[in-house]
Amino acid sequence: MGLVITVANQKGGVGKTTTAVSLADFLAAAGSRVLVVDLDPQGNLTTSLGLESASPPPVYLALLDPPRTPGLIVPARPYRLDILASGPDLAGAEVELLGLPDGRLRLRLALAEIKSGYDLVLVDCPPSLGILTVNGLAAADGVLVPVQCEFLALEGLASLSRTLSLVRAELNPGLMLTGVVLTMFDGRLGLSRQVVEEVRRFFPETFDTVIPRNVRLGEAPSFGRTIREYAPTSPGARAYEALALELMDRLLAKLTAEEASRA
Ligand code: ADP
Ligand code: MG
């Protein structure tokens, strides 16, 4: 189906990369053809999968010269995933993209070359609303927003919503809010439960599955391993597996509804 889902939130440390890697890995293990795209110069998604960040980063080359994209994607072995990897030099792409007339559409052009070969493309964004994130949103069918169950969880979501509206108005009218993912939930804290209620009230699109705070999720990336492989029975793995199923159900329901409305 070649759906592009972008994981975005300009706050750092809310679980974007963890969500992108874990969902991609569970979906691929269940048989989907999945590509992950690392749009963050920090390259956390790249290293989480055990790959070294390269110079120049493949995603940088794809943004500057979209027709090269097929040759820049590599398998992220031993996972069944393909990756368009990042690295620190991607930071330099921001200035170059700002100078190009279609600088906000380069990821869309790059993915147009290859997305029909995948069921799902998951894009991980940097913690900003700059031109790299705008590229991620302009290329996407839907956006996933991880929100940490913490004090001021909703802070910043207004500016993210404004960016989504701007991208819809100027670049990508079909962009959907696929869902909000509550992360790092701690059931011992009344605050965590309060945040869950508050976020659900503001965003009816919030997924039923809530991701718990789980030390295994924090450890896995330092070994370059996914949670499915590193600690498959941990609460974190089970939660992301459930979220992967919920996401698939939601995407399939939407596709079915679209087909019905066309018929
Ligand atoms: P972002 O990409 O939004 O900056 P990350 O996914 O990198 O956030 O998560 C920030 C840090 O928190 C990382 O060290 C990650 O391993 C850890 N982490 C993410 N989700 C969880 C969780 N549910 N429980 C415990 N640690 C987590
Ligand atoms: Mg990240």
Residues of the chain with pLDDT under 70: none
* pLDDT value of residue 152: 85
Ligand 1 atom closest to Cα of 185?
A: 23
* pLDDT value of residue 114: 96
Q: Which two tokens stand for residue 194?
A: 């309060």
Ligand 1 atom closest to Cα of 212?
A: 23
How far is the CA of 263 from the CAs of 1, 51, 67, 255, in angstroms?
Answer: 18, 45, 35, 12
Q: Which two tokens stand for residue 74?
A: 């590599």
The stretches of the chain forming alpha helices (DSSP H) are 16-29, 44-48, 58-64, 93-98, 106-112, 131-138, 157-170, 190-202, 215-219, 227-230, 235-262
DSSP class of residue 223 equals G
Determine contact, residues 81/119, Cβ cutoff 8 Å: no
Residues 6, 142: Cα–Cα separation, whole Å? 6
Residues bordering ligand 2, an ion, CB closer than 5 Å: 16-17, 44
Residues 6+ apart with CB under 8 A from 183: 14, 15, 18, 19, 146, 147, 148, 149, 211
Amino acid at 252: L
> What tens digit of pLDDT does each residue of 112-168 get?
999 999 999 999 999 999 999 999 999 999 999 999 999 888 888 999 999 999 999
Rounded to 5 degrees, φ, ψ at 14 are -95, -5
* pLDDT value of residue 46: 98
Distance from the alpha carbon of residue 188 to the mean position of ligand 2, in angstroms? 26
* pLDDT value of residue 258: 86
Counting ligand 1 atoms within 8 A of each CB, the residue from 14, 17, 18 with the most, and so the one to mutate, is 18
Distance from the alpha carbon of residue 234 to the mean position of ligand 2, in angstroms? 21
Distance from the alpha carbon of residue 22 to the mean position of ligand 2, in angstroms? 12
DSSP class of residue 41 equals T
Which residues' Cβ are closer than 6 Å to ligand 1? 12-18, 44, 127, 183-184, 211, 213-214, 217-218, 221, 236
Quote the pTM value: 0.97
Residues 135, 40: Cα–Cα separation, whole Å? 12
Residues 197, 106: Cα–Cα separation, whole Å? 38
Rounded to 5 degrees, φ, ψ at 88 are -55, -35
Q: Which two tokens stand for residue 213?
A: 């705070």
Residues 6+ apart with CB under 8 A from 235: 212, 214, 216
CA 98 to chain CA centroid, nearest Å: 22
* pLDDT value of residue 180: 97
